[in-house]
Amino acid sequence: MDTIQVSTMSSHRPVTAYKSSIGMKLLMGITGFTFIGFVTGHMIGNLQVFLGPEKLNAYAHTLQSLGALLWIIRLSLFTFFAVHIFFGIKLWLENKASRPIPYVKEVNVESTFSSRIMIWSGLAMFSFVVYHLLHFTLIVTNPEYAVLKENLDVYSMMVVGFSNYWISAVYVVAMIFLSLHVNHAVFSMFQTFGLTNAKWIPLLRRIGNLYAILILVGYVSMPIAVLLNIITLH
């Protein structure tokens, strides 16, 4: 009787773990898709800095006119991001626990650099999001932006902020981590939703690479343009 119980429990444990893993990956896929949408939209909106203060500040006014809804969106996005990070860490720890004895020689088969550092790029992005909120949204790290924030002069805030080499460096490094993360995330998202097969893998990897390059170039172009005096105060 005891033998049967032990056998039954051990046979169900892998199935339960498998279902749990699939559920977490689906949650990560859904939250990741939301985050990718936000990253793209946020970049497109901020790139209006190249069109001048009127365009960018009008965009800021449109967002601000949402009132409480804007904060609901922000809190929802931050919650989604936190859930994504939480389950990412949980899956990473479970994968590490499933192989408690390290290989004598580790060989990465069909993996990429971005896929191998997903946990670290994710944690780097979480740290950056916290800093970004304290920097440009809550005006904690740089209280001198307060007047510009009150006047919704986002254009001047960006120019003043990115004129600081250290701040621009933080943003550039963070965007490198972001591009590395989304590089694999795009492919992984398709895989999680069951939209991949052996024939499509090379194409999906190229889509991930292209998207990562566009995100990197788009976001990094702004601080670099400020530092090169391409974008200046009017």
Per the prediction, the chain carries an average pLDDT of 84
Please state the domain extents for the chain. Answer: 2-227
pLDDT digits (tens, 9 = 90+) for 49-101: 999 999 999 999 999 999 899 989 989 988 888 888 888 888 888 877 776 54
Residue 10 has pLDDT above 70, yes or no: no
Note the pLDDT of residue 8.
41
Note the pLDDT of residue 99.
61
Confidence band, pLDDT 50/70/90 cuts, at residue 220: very high
CA distance 163 to 159: 6
CA distance 192 to 141: 38
Counting residues of the chain whose pLDDT is more than 90, the rounded percentage is 44
**CATH among 1.20.1300.10, 1.20.1250.20, 3.30.2270.10, 1.10.4030.10 for 2-227:** 1.20.1300.10
Which of the listed ranges 18-27, 64-73, 169-178, 200-209 does the model predict with the highest average pLDDT? Answer: 169-178
Contacts 24+ apart (CB under 8 A), 177-180: 177/121, 177/124, 177/125, 177/128, 178/39, 178/121, 178/125, 178/128, 178/215, 178/216, 178/219, 179/212, 179/213, 179/215, 179/216, 180/113, 180/114, 180/117, 180/121, 180/212
pLDDT digits (tens, 9 = 90+) for 112-150: 888 888 889 988 998 999 999 899 988 999 999 999 988
CA distance 90 to 95: 9
